[in-house]
Amino acid sequence: MALELEHVTKRFGKFTAVDDLSLSIPESEMFGFLGANGAGKTTTFRMILGLLDPSGGKITWNGNPIDYSTSPLIGYLPEERGLYPKLKVKDQVIYLAKLRGMAKQNCLKELTYWLERFKVPEYANKKIEELSKGNQQKIQFITAVIHKPKLLILDEPFSGLDPVNVELLKDAVLDLKDSGTTIVFSSHRMEHVEELCEHLCIMQKGRPVVHGSLKEIKRSFGRKNLIIHADYDLSFLKDSRGVVKARQTAEGIQLQISGEDAAESIFREVAEKGFVRKFVLEEPSLNDIFIEKAGASYE
């Protein structure tokens, strides 16, 4: 296991931000680290980066503790933009890359590559404050990956980007993963997590409430989504056996049910009523699971 967190706890006075968190993330894997606001994600990241010391437990990278001697191996993209507004893109990236142990020449070469890959080569000599939010995010991403880190922490990497640029960055993230980088990925956009991560963990109040592979999590969640479209009123289904949640839609109803057997009885119920134009039984989405487990809504 490349990144290992063993019974990590962090307390601030009486407040416990992270409570007995154990994770192990293998090399070359993208791990989804989810949680509502204030669930302890940033605190965990800061502990992994060595900015905060855990109150208990330990964090290791390939068996070694993480400290400033390992900093060239680590890349970090914080949730908030963290760049000098008055500095030119080139100077900025070089300065931060030097601090990660990179030589200047090599850095210039890599910077040219990345700027071209992100289709913004003309920004090298612009000041950060002159760039749009999305373009600043690209530069932020470059500073996180330019030194080819072994462990990359991405906290909301796609915020502020348009769909085209999201694809651009997503491709870059996938390439990094394929070239052996271990990535811890945090996002509130569940579709991105579903698309990119095989394993994930959902935090709630500092504790991991869901942990495992995406498939397993979906299977063990048990519940499924049932979508029914018909020309008559379907609201009577709200009280049927096995229905956990119901939501009226324009063309019919969307139900969350406890399992497949519930779907069968509902199918018989609506068949008696009349013709059904659509009857779909779906796997739950990560969004559903998150809302259920983390207890907050993200629409």
Partner 1 sequence: MNNFMTILLHTYLSKLKTKSFIVTTLITVAIVAGLANLSGIIEYFNKDDQERIAVIDETGVLLAPLQEQLDALNSNISLIAYKGSEAEGESAVKDEEYKGLLLLTFTEEELPEASYKARSIADSAIPSELQGGLQQLKTQMAATQINLSPEQLSKLYEPVPFDKTALEENAKTEEELNQARGLVYVLLFIIYFAVILYANMIAMEVATEKSSRVMEILISSVSPIKQMFAKILGIGLLSLTQMALILLVGYFSVKQNLDTMEGGFFEFFGFGNIPASTIAYALIFFILGYFLYATLAAFLGSLVSRIEDIQQMITPMTMMVVAGFMIAMFGLGQPEASFVTITSYIPFFTPMLMFMRVGMLSLPVWEPILGIAILLVSIILLAVFGARVYRGGVLMYGKSNSFKDIKKALQLTNNE
Give the binding site for partner 1 (CB under 8 A). 11-13, 46, 49-55, 68, 71, 74, 76, 78, 80-85, 87, 91, 95-96, 98-101, 143
Contact of 27 with 16, CB cutoff 8 Å: no
Minimum gap (Å) between residue 282 Cβ and partner 1: 40
Nearest-approach distance from CB 199 to partner 1, in angstroms: 24
Query: Rounded to an integer, what distance in angstroms lies between the CA atom of residue 233 and that of residue 238?
Result: 11
What b/e readout covers 182-191, taking b as 16+ CB neighbours within 10 angstroms? bbbbbbeebe
Question: What single letter denotes the amino acid at residue 28?
Answer: S
Q: Which is nearer to partner 1, 76 or 290 (CB)?
A: 76
Minimum Å gap between C-beta 43 and partner 1 is 10
For partner 1, the closer of residues 84 and 113 by Cβ is: 84
Nearer CB in complex with partner 1: 15/275: 15
- By beta-carbon proximity to partner 1, the closer residue of 98 and 238 is 98
Residue with smaller CB distance to partner 1, 38 or 78: 78
The secondary structure of residue 72, as a DSSP letter, is G
- Smallest gap from Cβ 239 to partner 1, in A, equals 48
| Residue position matching structure tokens 């390992």 | 70
Question: At closest approach, how far in Å is the CB of 53 from partner 1?
Answer: 5
Beta strands in the chain (DSSP E): 3-12, 15-25, 30-35, 56-61, 64-65, 74-77, 151-155, 182-186, 199-204, 207-213, 224-230, 243-248, 252-257, 276-282
